[in-house]
Amino acid sequence: MSESGSNIVWHEASVTRERREKQNGHKSAVIWFTGLSSAGKSTLAHAVEEELHKLGCRTFVLDGDNIRHGLSSNLGFGDADRRENIRRIAETAKLMMEAGIITMAAFISPFRDDREAARKLMPHGDFIEIYCRASLEICEKRDVKGLYKRARAGEIKNYTAIDSPYEIPENPELIVDTGEVSLQQSVAQVMQLLTERGIVKQAT
């Protein structure tokens, strides 16, 4: 350990995560939405946040494009930078979870190892991986930004599912067929899981 590292000590706060959760009236967690670009990750995450907000929950969505404007504005899209992007997001999500917030992360996060590293940061059961499953054909049809077309034309390099791989989750907590079912149905599936996990209480 470096000299500077040896001088760094984790400070234990007197206001704990448990006390924050009790005040909030719900548990906190990290809900990680993964899938291809245009699979509906951000749309689903924000729709779930709307439902949670109606229940009085403290929430926040970490969105891919928004993070690239600030926290990861100095990163590119090569493999190493993608991994660093996900590392930063995972550490941020963990801090927000400790603050008692139901934190939703909506990112392609194409590599299994990176998603598993994010999972290992969290206490057991607090990382909920949701695979937004939609075929490449459907995602390309939905692509209002025209990014897939530009990637196929060679104008964008390292684009997931075109010239960079996407590794499908092996054991996600939930698979939502965002390419086939409605947004309302997708939200209902996520909310059911959160209720079953005891993160939120069933609305009365």
Q: Which two tokens stand for residue 174?
A: 């939930």
pLDDT of residue 122: 92
Which CATH code of 3.30.450.40, 3.20.20.60, 3.90.1720.10, 3.40.50.300 fits the domain covering 19-196? 3.40.50.300
Domain boundaries, the chain: 19-196
Other C-beta atoms lying within 10 Å of the C-beta of residue 121: 15
Please tell me which residue, 175 or 163, carries the higher pLDDT value: 175
pLDDT in tens, 55-87: 999 999 998 667 777 777 778 788 888 888 889
pLDDT of residue 67: 77
Alpha carbon separation from 178 to 33, 58, 201 (Å, rounded): 11, 25, 25
User: 37, 42, 72, 109: which one is catalytic?
Assistant: 109
Phi, psi (rounded to 5 degrees) for 33: -95, 120
pTM greater than the 0.85 cutoff: yes
Q: What is the Cα Rg of the chain in Å?
A: 18
Q: Any catalytic annotation for residue 109?
A: yes
Instruction: Indicate if the pLDDT at residue 165 is higher than 50.
Output: yes
